Copies of this chain bind each other. A is one copy, B any other.
């Protein structure tokens, strides 16, 4: 990994695997942020090994979003940017390349220390920085703090790792507050809503420290719920992506709707987009797919898009105060 490359695509490791396993043809799958690298990485691997390569061009937003169709055509699929989901792989053909970040986290953690109010600190991050957690704990310990790292459920590959749809490493952690290492708002917001505890964000890319404030997102989600209170007809969305398929939950929600005298249709699809949902005239949608969809695309759908928990509030099966981000939990 050169100093100009902040992410480690492990090309030498991949070349070693190919030389060893001698596949006739391999697949490469990248999340959206890395797709532009695909041709150059394919050329590098092809020149070193002569292997045939297919590049998955489907949108990819997580380990949940494995390209199932390409598996029929390749001997090995290298899936970049995410850690393995669940204890069991979807297919033996898939090798996860986690693209760890080389970005220093110490500086921003030192910057965060004066902002930490409590003594017991729950530390969280995404897979890109997971190898830096010992550094984080060392700094916290040297400042007299206690560093707590949760194990998480079966969807979680590493202690302390959060996904956009799984905050189980924060479950029952006996800490005063959380320190999240990473960029983006979604993960720390989810932890804040799930635990009700203070969450501090230390962003190693921007070198900024900030406290999560869930008020804006709560107001936004409350508006979506409010706009759905008169809904009579619901479209319940199920994604067929292997890590997002929650058909059993969708059926439960449909029964719940019907018990309350509402009409509900189960709509199944791969990628859910606002454009595609225009085709279906319902009063509100309920997404059992990627929990980020309802939140990140708020206001872009032709009808309010609820999470399962928000739908329960709408039909009176859950209290407004129990609003939280949706999660896809493992065992």
- Mark A residues whose CB is within 8 Å of B: 27, 32, 35-36, 38-39, 42-43, 53-59, 67, 69-70, 72-73, 233, 235, 237-238, 240, 247, 263, 265-272, 276-277, 279-282
Contacts and interface: CB of A to CB of B under 8 A. Distances in A.
A324 to B, nearest CB: 26
Give the residue among A59, A67, A233 with the most B Cβ atoms within 10 A.
Answer: A59
A267 B59 CA distance: 12
The dominant DSSP class at the A interface is mixed
A265 B44 CA distance: 12
8 contacts: A36-B281, A39-B265, A43-B263, A53-B265, A54-B268, A57-B279, A72-B240, A73-B268
A284 to B, nearest CB: 13
Contact of A270 (B38, B39, B43, B270): B270
Given A265-B42, A268-B54, A268-B73, A35 B280 contact: yes
Contacts of A237: 57
A50 to B, nearest CB: 12
A269 B58 contact: yes
B240 A69 contact: yes
Contacts of A57: 237, 267-269, 272, 276-277, 279-280
Contacts of A281: 36, 39
Contacts of A53: 265-266
Contacts of A271: 271
Contacts of A58: 268-270, 276
Contact of A266 (B35, B55, B272): B55
A36 B69 contact: no
A189 B247 CA distance: 44
B280 A36 contact: yes
B268 A35 contact: no
A221 to B, nearest CB: 23
A268 B38 CA distance: 12
Contact of A280 (B27, B38, B277): B38
A120 to B, nearest CB: 43
A258 to B, nearest CB: 11
Given A57-B277, A59-B276, A237-B57, A70 B268 contact: yes
Contacts of A233: 39
Among A42, A57, A263, A272, which residue has the most Cβ atoms of chain B within 10 A? Answer: A57
